[in-house]
Amino acid sequence: MHAIALDSKYGVPTVAIHTNAFEKAVQSVTRMHGMPEARYTFVPQPVMGKTAEQLRAYVEGKSPISGRPVMQEVIEGLTRPAEGDRIKESKFERSTPRMVDSDSDDNLHRLFLENNWTDKLPIVLPTEKRVAEMLARTSRKPDEVAGHMRSNQFRQYWEFTVEKVAINAVMAGARPEYFPVILALASSGVSARGSTTSSMAAMVVVNGPIRNEIAMNSGTGAMAPYNYANATIGRAYGLLSQNLQGGSLPGDSYMGSQGNGYAYGTMTFAENEERSPWVPFHVQHGFKPTDSSVSIFTGCRSTAFTLGVREKYWREHVRSMLRGMDAHSAPTFVLDPIAARQFIDRGGFDTKEKLIQWVYENALMPAGEYWDYQLIQNYIYPRATFGEEPYASKLKAAPDEMIRMFKPDEIHVVVVGGETNGYWRIMGCNYQKTVSVDEWR
Amino acid sequence: MANEVQGSERAGVEGDKKVTVMNPAGYPPQITPKPMAPRLDSLDGKTVYLVDPRFDDSGLFLRQVQNWFADHMPSVKTNLVEMSSVYTKDDPKTWEMIKANGDGAIIGVGH
């Protein structure tokens, strides 16, 4: 995308070099950004970790896509005039039909599958009757724009209406009374099908009266597939994300190398406010206890877990768990109420903020080790070298100096679980925002 | 559970009977064609910026591109520059600098 901007906006002839795993994604992005003739070539994947000799061989070699010499394509890309042929093939105005052509049940299920409109599990076909029943549970008009979404920052936003959200909610099997929660998730603009090579998933925490109104589970098995509301709201969030942002197709609009099982249900659960010793998550973020809300986390990949908070070595145990986390994704402590109370007993953390402060001060790593992580190199190091704090100060540390891995405002605490035991976990993820459900009733 | 599959609906969609359902896809943005910059007559004597997005050892790769020009097209002046921040952010300051001082650019490898 930077090459497109430099070429079209600044008038500098530009060629982009990509790895061959991104062929379809590059074609899609250049087309959607209005420059289907953008100049690019490909080298083999990966570049990361290769020696200078291996990289020189890439440069001297041929594009694994076209079979032509890489540098020949680079030079031609800078010198060969535009032909306009690919522009003629592009469609510059498109619309999405409201209905799908009538067909048999089996054929429609097949069509939805082939169009990549599903999560590869059976769906409920969105008939007008079912969609109307969903729409009846919000005061918003069907044709009202509910939001915009895209799979990553290199893609353009797609737009969707309340009706489009309802269609996806029906497909997920959600009950109409869940619809305000699903609308709130859609309106966030945060995709549960973000496209990163890191295969991230999203997590949703529901707070406030809506939890009990729609019988969500915050107790035993809340994060597992044992509650209809938790399961179908999470699934609806995933389906609407992929369908309303323009797709989530591996190799094209989804580049997660390994994929992520968390993405099936989008880890959706209610916080156990009744058994938590602390204030609810949404109250920490400016809402009243009587408000209903959804809080969205993305980047969910790494997980650490343990049982209890031991009297003698709990500090060491927690520090070890934190050191084992991905240094780029901050920790969210997901605590069974038993574990939450143990943290109070052991550490005196009578507020979530006190526990967060302790985590901030104890998540430490030698500076040399920290800066050598590839994710830190990709996303933090560039910001540090240009003076952004606190990264710039960390960069001054000696390689063996212990530095803090995270910022306090990146660390979060949520209470969930049925107290069958004091298990708890740390999710490596990034809090995005908390959205009102009440505004979508 | 009004939206769950009704018995009559399920029966009605079996066999050859056709049903009508709604399209779940959102609305794509209108695509506005962007002009390409005029291409160069040749690279001889020109200044080409090699832009490192600072992603997955991209700088090490561009160093080899720079070496290739030195070996095969020494009349081309290459300047290897890093983007000002992470590759996900726009970098107008760098783009303006290249526009003012360069004739062309190569960006890579950013996926």
Q: How is chain A split into domains, by residue range?
A: 2-89, 105-363+407-440, 367-404
What is the rounded average pLDDT of the residues B4-30?
A: 71
Q: Is A393 exposed, middle or buried (0-12, 13-18, 19+ CB in 10 A)?
A: exposed
Q: Is the pLDDT of residue A148 over 50?
A: yes
Non-local (6+) Cβ contacts of A408 within 8 A are A356, A357, A360
Task: Tell me what pLDDT residue B108 has.
Answer: 87
3-state secondary structure of A243: helix
Say if B94 falls within a structural domain. no
- Residue range(s) defining the domain that contains residue B56: 48-82+105-111
What is the rounded average pLDDT of the residues A238-253?
A: 94
Q: Residue B27 — very low, low, confident or very high, per pLDDT cuts 50/70/90?
A: very high
Mean pLDDT score across all residues of chain A: 93
Cβ contact B26:A160 at 8 Å: yes
Task: Tell me what pLDDT residue B111 has.
Answer: 62
| Interchain contact, A381 vs B54, CB within 8 Å | yes
Q: Residue B2 — very low, low, confident or very high, per pLDDT cuts 50/70/90?
A: very low
Q: How do the residues of chain B divide into helix, strand and coil, expressed in percent and rounded to 5?
A: 30, 20, 50
CA A396 to chain centre: 32
Q: For the residues of A63-88, what is the DSSP string, one character each?
A: -TTT-SBHHHHHHHHHHSPP--HHHH
| Interchain contact, B19 vs A108, CB within 8 Å | yes
Q: Number of C-alpha atoms within 13 angstroms, CB side, residue B67?
A: 14
Chain B contact set for A95 (CB, 8 A): 27
CA B50 to chain centre: 16
Q: Which two tokens stand for residue A428?
A: 């490596």
Task: Tell me what pLDDT residue B15 has.
Answer: 56
Calculate how close chain B gets to A430, using CA atoms only, in Å.
16
First vs last C-alpha separation in chain A: 38
When mean pLDDT is compared across A87-96, A158-167, A177-186, B72-81, the lowest value belongs to A87-96
Q: Residue A84 — very low, low, confident or very high, per pLDDT cuts 50/70/90?
A: low
Quick: pLDDT tens for B57-82.
899 999 999 999 999 999 999 999 99
Non-local (6+) Cβ contacts of B8 within 8 A are none
Non-local (6+) Cβ contacts of A270 within 8 A are A205, A206, A207, A211, A216, A217, A218, A222, A230, A416
ipTM value: 0.87
Tokens 């005196």 locate to: A348
Q: Residue A92 — very low, low, confident or very high, per pLDDT cuts 50/70/90?
A: very low
Q: Is the pLDDT of residue A90 over 50?
A: no
Chain A contact set for B58 (CB, 8 A): 47
Q: Is the pLDDT of residue A321 over 60?
A: yes
In degrees, to the nearest 5, what angle opens at C-alpha A339 toward C-alphas A337 and A345? 110
Q: Residue B1 — very low, low, confident or very high, per pLDDT cuts 50/70/90?
A: very low
Mean pLDDT score across all residues of chain B: 85
Task: Tell me what pLDDT residue A382 has.
Answer: 84
Phi then psi for residue A338, to 5 deg, are -60, -45
**A82 closest CA partner among A29, A28, A32, A36:** A36
Task: Tell me what pLDDT residue A244 has.
Answer: 96
**A41 closest CA partner among A2, A4, A68:** A68
Chain B, window 32-91: residues with a beta carbon less than 8 angstroms from a chain A beta carbon: 32-43, 48-49, 51, 53-58, 60-61, 63-65, 67-68, 72-73, 82-88, 90-91
Distance CA B105, CA A74 (A): 10
Chain A, window 11-70: residues with a beta carbon less than 8 angstroms from a chain B beta carbon: 11-19, 21-22, 25, 31-35, 37-38, 43, 46-50, 52, 55-56, 58-60
Q: Residue B11 — very low, low, confident or very high, per pLDDT cuts 50/70/90?
A: very low
Non-local (6+) Cβ contacts of B38 within 8 A are A11, A13, A81
Quick: pLDDT tens for A116-130.
999 999 999 999 999
Say if B89 falls within a structural domain. no
Task: Tell me what pLDDT residue B6 has.
Answer: 45
3-state secondary structure of A18: strand
Q: Is the pLDDT of residue A266 over 60?
A: yes
Calculate how close chain A gets to B49, using CA atoms only, in Å.
9
The percent of residues above 90 in pLDDT, for chain B, comes to 62
Task: Tell me what pLDDT residue A32 has.
Answer: 83
Residue in B with minimal Cα distance to A255 = B111
Q: Which two tokens stand for residue A256?
A: 């997660």
Q: Which of A6, A25, A97 sits opposite B105 (nearest CB)?
A: A6
Cβ contact A127:B21 at 8 Å: yes
| Sheet of strand A14-19: strand arrangement | A39-43, A14-19, B104-108, B47-52, B77-82
In degrees, to the nearest 5, what angle opens at C-alpha A440 toward C-alphas A434 and B5? 110
Question: What is the SS3 assignment for A105-163?
Answer: HHHHHHHHHHCCCCCCCCCCCCEHHHHHHHHCCCCCCCCCEEEEECCCCCCCCEEEEHH
- Global pTM value: 0.87
Q: Is the pLDDT of residue A1 over 90?
A: no
Quick: pLDDT tens for A333-359.
999 999 999 999 999 999 999 999 999
Residue in A with minimal Cα distance to B57 = A48
Query: Count of domains in chain B?
Result: 1
Q: What is residue A201's DSSP assignment?
A: E
